[in-house]
Amino acid sequence: MSGLESKASFKERALEIGATVAFVTTLETAGIDCFGKLAFVCSANPYSGDDTPLKTAVTTLTGAEPSVAEMMVLRRLWFEANAYALADLKSLTDVSPGDAVKSMPLAERMARLQRQKDRLQGVIFDVHHEPSHHLVDRVQAMIDEGVLTYLEPGRCTSRSHEVQSDKEAMHIKFDGSGNLKVTKKDSELQCDTSGELQLRMALTRRSLAFDLAGLASFSVQELWHSHLVTALLKTPPAGHKFVTVQQVLTADKELWLQMSQVTRGKLKVTVGQDPPLDAEFKRLMYAAEIACYMTPLPAPKTAGPPAGGPPKAQPKPSPSRPTKRKFDNDKSNPKGESIKQMLNNLPKDCSSKLANGRFICLKFNKGTCPNQKQDKCKFGVHVCYRNNCGKNVPYIECNH
């Protein structure tokens, strides 16, 4: 919004140069509530030295002739209104891609912010949650252009980012006469959205910015953002993966692209009516073409050969060095009976483990353990392996 359309800027300036509250209220009641309306209230030239057409027009609209003091204030406001109009016309004819976004007047910005705070009770407005001025200006520019553009969360900066990282870069462009012109261009600020908390805060700042401009209400946008976060936290079905942040951002972008296509040329904020994007949010929020981007994807199968081809054959052991099976020990087991064979030939009512899960030395119970006189060895504890016995005596010697 330019200074021509700001009602708050007009009222603040009028009071600043000496107008009374009653006179400002009279002008607002007559429809003269911004610089744009005052600039074209009559067709006279403000530099002609004759303010009779201005006085006549205001008297006709308000129904009362302004006093001398009121006329002095009105004349000064009239000059400034025409200066605003000339500057705004020049900006329309001398603009090129890449120029900085037109800034909203501070008085208008603060008036809107105060109304938003009064309306959104319970929402925190601090330096980290409040959207940056640049973000609000970008949203307001969409209304002026009549086209909705997608603002990814990384560009939804806060006042904290703006205060700490406000930088200006020199920009060279051609003016209307073909001459080079050096201007200042604001560098694009970015915010961190790597974590879920940072992403959620960025989305909230975007909601506040669009609510401040009047394009979409805060509650409807937060309903959509809660839907995105719920998709991240929802437990997927068996054999599927959790929904990723990239899937959620893709769904968010697709929703804004479809809204931009439908609302092109229709972005008009009208007092007393619902914001223009609320109906589109409710229509597309749960639509199938948006929900498909937030569907849990199948998890990759871990079993089976790798995708590169059949598994490689394992090399065979060398015949010159025969491999030994675990727990085989010919010296301690003259019969050559392996641990596997001992497990298969356990006597009735015997077990290879204690109740606490510790292994029992099977060779100790056979009387063939090389550490027969110790309490335990690498094969397990030295106790009788009959169930509910547990004496420190081999099975072949225990009377149970």
List pLDDT tens digits, range 261-285. Answer: 999 988 888 878 899 999 999 999 9
Residue 365 lies in a domain: yes
Residue 272 lies in a domain: no
Domain final residue pick, 53, 72, 93: 93
Residue 135 lies in a domain: no
Three-state SS at 373:
coil
Domain count, the chain: 2
Domain final residue pick, 93, 126, 156: 93
Average pLDDT score over residue span 252-257 = 96
Longest CA pairwise span in the chain (Å): 131
Residue 357: domain span: 329-400
Residue 85 lies in a domain: yes
Among 11-25, 35-49, 82-96, 197-211, the minimum mean pLDDT is found in: 82-96
- Phi–psi pair at 282, nearest 5 degrees: -65, -30
Among 218-227, 241-250, 288-297, 350-359, the minimum mean pLDDT is found in: 350-359
CB-based burial of residue 345 (10 Å sphere; 0-12 exposed, 13-18 middle, 19+ buried)? exposed
Give me the residue label for tokens 């703006």.
162
Whole-number pLDDT of residue 232 = 92
* Dist. CA 182–CA 173, nearest whole Å: 7
Residue 127 lies in a domain: no
Q: Are 210 and 216 in contact (CB under 8 A)?
A: yes
Residue 86 lies in a domain: yes
What does the pLDDT look like over 381-398, one tens digit per residue? 898 888 888 888 888 888
Provide the terminal-to-terminal Cα distance of the chain, rounded to the nearest Å.
Answer: 97
Confidence of residue 378 (pLDDT cuts 50, 70, 90): confident
Q: Are 290 and 254 in contact (CB under 8 A)?
A: yes
Confidence of residue 204 (pLDDT cuts 50, 70, 90): very high
Residue 342 lies in a domain: yes
Give the contacts of 166 (CB within 8 A, at least 6 positions apart).
Answer: 186, 189
Residue 139 lies in a domain: no
Whole-number pLDDT of residue 326 = 44
What does the pLDDT look like over 167-196, one tens digit per residue? 555 555 655 565 666 665 555 788 988 888
Average pLDDT score over residue span 42-58 = 80
* Dist. CA 158–CA 126, nearest whole Å: 9
Domain final residue pick, 93, 119, 136: 93
Q: Which tokens in the block code for residue 138?
A: 């970008």
